[in-house]
């Protein structure tokens, strides 16, 4: 069992619960103890290791409370580098249509039908700027009060 | 598979898999997901937030200020590196 805090006679002998190190932020091959108390091995490759500000990431998230799209992106993505994102529900009983995606290139996000039966993306407008073609997909409802539930968040960008 | 939780002040914002801020074990992840599944229904204009300290729900008022709809020009600005 992982131990993250040790208290003896009201004195804290060891406490890593507020440590922020993760496998992703620790240099590859190095080991440390995460805030959960579990031993982790780093996976970070100095110099980028081929990653870029525009890599594709897919994250399964469970929103605990109703929240906004801006808040979700702020929790997971470096929005100064964000190129595109798409979010859609992954459980059938989440019937809210709350999605928005911006595509970079001609096939940034393949078409997908979410668990609630809604297909994304729905529409797009194409731009051609600086030798790049941009398809701006728009298919969303109200992003202000996104309900709790399970979602897939896809990002072309840099995670925090 | 690594589980994470993200906080918003004293409340749990979300849990996620393989990407997130604070690593948690599967037991805590499952407890939070279970709490979400049994969340009480909030009246219109309100939401329940899950306190990180004791996993108890707290009724809070939603922001009444709507997020503006993006038009295509604003969307293009995002693509080109502008603020969102």
Give the ipTM of the model, two decimals please: 0.73
Do A85 and A77 form a contact (C-beta atoms < 8 A)? yes
Which helix (DSSP H) or strand (DSSP E) does residue B6 occupy?
strand B3-8
Nearest chain A alpha carbon to B77:
A83
Chain B hits for A57, Cβ within 8 Å: 19
Structure tokens at A103: 């595509």
Question: CA–CA separation, A56 vs A51, rounded Å?
Answer: 10
Whether pLDDT at B54 is above 90 = yes
Do A22 and A38 form a contact (C-beta atoms < 8 A)? no
Length of chain A: 160
Nearest chain B alpha carbon to A33:
B23
> What DSSP designation does A20 have?
-
Which candidate, A151, A155, A160, places its Cα nearest to that of A83? A155
Chain B hits for A100, Cβ within 8 Å: 70
Question: What are the pLDDT digits (tens) for A105-135?
Answer: 444 566 666 666 666 554 454 545 445 555 5
Nearest chain B alpha carbon to A65:
B49
Lowest mean pLDDT among A7-11, A42-46, A153-157: A42-46
Q: Is some CB atom of chain A closer than 8 A to the CB atom of B30?
A: no
Structure tokens at A84: 């595109």
Contact call for A82 and B78, based on CB within 8 A: yes
Question: What are the pLDDT digits (tens) for A42-100?
Answer: 655 444 444 566 678 889 999 898 777 778 888 998 877 666 677 777 776 554 444 44
A24 pLDDT tier (thresholds 50, 70, 90): low
**At a CB cut-off of 8 Å and minimum separation 6, what does A24 contact?**
A43, A44, B19
What phi and psi, each to the nearest 5 degrees, are found at residue A41? Answer: -115, 130
Whether pLDDT at A19 is above 80 = yes
Chain A hits for B48, Cβ within 8 Å: 65
What phi and psi, each to the nearest 5 degrees, are found at residue B34? Answer: -65, -40
Structure tokens at A48: 């980028």
Across the A/B interface, how many CB contacts are shorter than 8 Å?
114
Question: CA–CA separation, B81 vs A53, rounded Å?
Answer: 11
Q: What is the mean pLDDT of chain B?
A: 83
Considering only CB atoms, B14 lies closest to which of A24, A64, A160, namely A64
């Amino acid at each position: 069992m992982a131990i993250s805090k040790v208290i003896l006679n009201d004195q804290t002998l060891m406490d890593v619960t507020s440590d922020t190190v993760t496998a992703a932020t620790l240099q590859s091959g190095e080991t440390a103890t995460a805030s959960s108390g579990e031993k982790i091995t780093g996976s970070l490759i100095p110099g980028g290791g081929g990653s870029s500000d525009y890599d594709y990431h897919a994250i399964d998230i469970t929103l605990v409370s109703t929240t906004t799209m801006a808040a979700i992106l702020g929790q997971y993505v470096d929005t100064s580098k964000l190129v595109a994102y798409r979010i859609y529900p992954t459980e059938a009983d989440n019937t809210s249509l709350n999605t928005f995606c911006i595509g970079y290139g001609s096939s940034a996000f393949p078409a997908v039908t979410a668990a609630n039966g809604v297909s994304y993306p729905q529409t797009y407008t194409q731009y051609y700027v600086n030798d790049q073609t941009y398809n701006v997909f728009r298919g969303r409802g109200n992003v202000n009060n996104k309900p709790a539930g399970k979602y897939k968040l896809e990002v072309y960008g840099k995670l925090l | 598979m690594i589980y994470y939780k993200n906080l918003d002040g004293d409340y749990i914002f979300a849990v996620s898999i393989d990407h997130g801020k604070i690593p948690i074990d599967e037991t805590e992840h499952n407890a939070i997901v279970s709490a979400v599944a049994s969340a009480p229904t909030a009246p219109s204009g309100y939401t329940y937030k899950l306190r990180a300290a004791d996993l108890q729900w707290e009724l809070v008022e939603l922001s009444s200020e709507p997020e503006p709809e993006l038009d295509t020009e604003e969307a293009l600005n995002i693509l080109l590196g502008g603020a969102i």
